């Protein structure tokens, strides 16, 4: 049985207006993760994601790179208890 994990991920840098939410959603669906991604007023992107342990860690690694046009300056990750969300959304 695989272990489910959940994380709050905050991504800083040039991450708005570059398709970051679109590609984050695409990567999350590809990795069978649940949760959401949204832009924040401070210019960062906020993500809540949960799923199988190795898929979540792969996703976090991807968040440190992002899509081609993004320029990541910092990623903060906090692991939290899973809440069994279904599906992944862009907000």
The two structure tokens encoding residue 88? 């992944």
State the catalytic residues: 21, 39
């Amino acid at each position: 049985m695989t272990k489910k994990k959940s994380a709050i991920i905050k991504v800083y840098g040039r991450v708005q207006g570059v398709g970051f939410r679109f590609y984050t959603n695409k990567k999350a669906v590809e990795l069978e993760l649940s949760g959401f991604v949204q832009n924040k007023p401070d210019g960062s992107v906020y993500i809540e994601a949960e799923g199988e342990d190795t898929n979540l860690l792969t996703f976090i690694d991807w968040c440190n790179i992002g899509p081609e046009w993004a320029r990541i300056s910092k990623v903060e990750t906090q692991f939290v208890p899973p809440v069994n969300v279904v599906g992944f959304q862009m907000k």
